[in-house]
Amino acid sequence: MTNDRIALVTGASRGLGLEMCRQLAARGVTVLLSARDLASAHKAAEIVRADGGDCRPIALDVTDAGQIAAVAAELDSSYGRLDVLVNNAAILTDLGVQPSATDEAVLRANLDVNFVGPFMLIAALSPLLRRSDGARVLNLGTQVGSFGNLDDTRSPLVDDICPAYQASKIALNAATALFAKELRQEGITVNSLCPGWVMTDMGHEDLPDYGDAVAPMSPTEAVAQMLWLVEDEPSPPTGRFWSQGEEIPW
Ligand SMILES: NC(=O)c1ccc[n+]([C@@H]2O[C@H](COP(=O)([O-])OP(=O)(O)OC[C@H]3O[C@@H](n4cnc5c(N)ncnc54)[C@H](OP(=O)(O)O)[C@@H]3O)[C@@H](O)[C@H]2O)c1
């Protein structure tokens, strides 16, 4: 795709979000780099701009309806449309906790950041996505949040327990399918993608039963294999769940 394109990436202060901004900007996309802390967004945007990219820092806590509305208004007045939305922001705060021991506040927080926020963001930005010539929405999911892996004893992921995170990412996959269905006729694609196990703050977490193993992928490698869905493929599929270029089960 060529590039007077406008992208918004959530949770881009660090990790995969920041790297997504860097790689999109390197391709000539105008990137709105959002973070819940504006100072962090400024710092991250400097890193992107150091590589020559066009990058604007903005404040967005995805759980804040007022900030979502403000970002939609800002995009409307500055650009009149949105071409790429990457719902990347997430928390994982219940690793190794059994469902019966889950704290209600933790459950609600994971659902808010990982599901309700991205859902309401897509809804708020859908008028702007509709004005794009082929908008792409990418929701960052996880195979740990693949429904089939939850209690399948043959799955290598069956012992990765983080119920609030898992439930929130399964709900996010539902959002992918629902918005894909609504927006398909307008040429807007909506997909979920698991990046694999990536060396970020989240990917550094000690995963149960992984011993001393470390994440095998860098953010640079992980983002490089995501871009086909938002930039490279002229007619990408929609309403699907992907990892490493392959479709995977919900
Ligand atoms: N790393 C992996 O192995 C892996 C595997 C599967 C899926 N994923 C998914 O990939 C995505 C990125 O993960 P990552 O590894 O880059 O995670 P990370 O390093 O922990 O970064 C998470 C980002 O989300 C932001 N964030 C948290 N709460 C937010 C909120 N309420 N509003 C806006 N931003 C918020 C954080 O901002 P602050 O700096 O303000 O905290 C941070 O920028 C996530 O959706 C994750 O579930 C990652």
Span 42-63, pLDDT tens digits: 999 999 999 889 999 999 999 9
Please tell me if the CB atom of residue 173 comes closer than 6 angstroms to any atom of ligand 1: no
What pTM, to 2 d.p., does this model score?
0.96
pLDDT at 1: 46
Alpha-helical segments (H) within the chain: 15-26, 38-50, 65-78, 104-111, 117-130, 163-183, 219-224, 227
Please tell me if the CB atom of residue 113 comes closer than 6 angstroms to any atom of ligand 1: yes
pLDDT at 2: 46
Angle between helices 38-50 and 15-26 (to 10 degrees): 40
Please tell me if the CB atom of residue 194 comes closer than 6 angstroms to any atom of ligand 1: yes
Q: How far apart are CA 130 and CA 246, in angstroms?
A: 27
Structural domains of the chain, with CATH: 6-247 (3.40.50.720)
Residue 113 CA to ligand 1 center (angstroms) comes to 10
Q: How far apart are CA 137 and CA 180, in angstroms?
A: 9
Please state the atom number of ligand 1 nearest to the C-alpha of residue 14.
43
Please tell me if the CB atom of residue 200 comes closer than 6 angstroms to any atom of ligand 1: yes
pLDDT at 212: 67
Greatest C-alpha distance within the chain:
52
Which tens digits make up the pLDDT trace of 143-198? Answer: 999 988 887 888 777 778 999 999 999 999 999 999 999 999 999 999 999 999 99
Q: Tokens for 221?
A: 């490698």
Which tens digits make up the pLDDT trace of 206-226? Answer: 655 566 678 889 999 999 999
Q: How far apart are CA 212 and CA 121, in angstroms?
A: 37
pLDDT at 204: 82
Please tell me if the CB atom of residue 11 comes closer than 6 angstroms to any atom of ligand 1: yes
pLDDT at 158: 74
Please tell me if the CB atom of residue 97 comes closer than 6 angstroms to any atom of ligand 1: no
Residue 20 CA to ligand 1 center (angstroms) comes to 12
Please state the atom number of ligand 1 nearest to the C-alpha of residue 112.
31
Give the residue from 146, 242, 249 showing the smallest Cα distance to 195.
Answer: 242
pLDDT at 214: 81
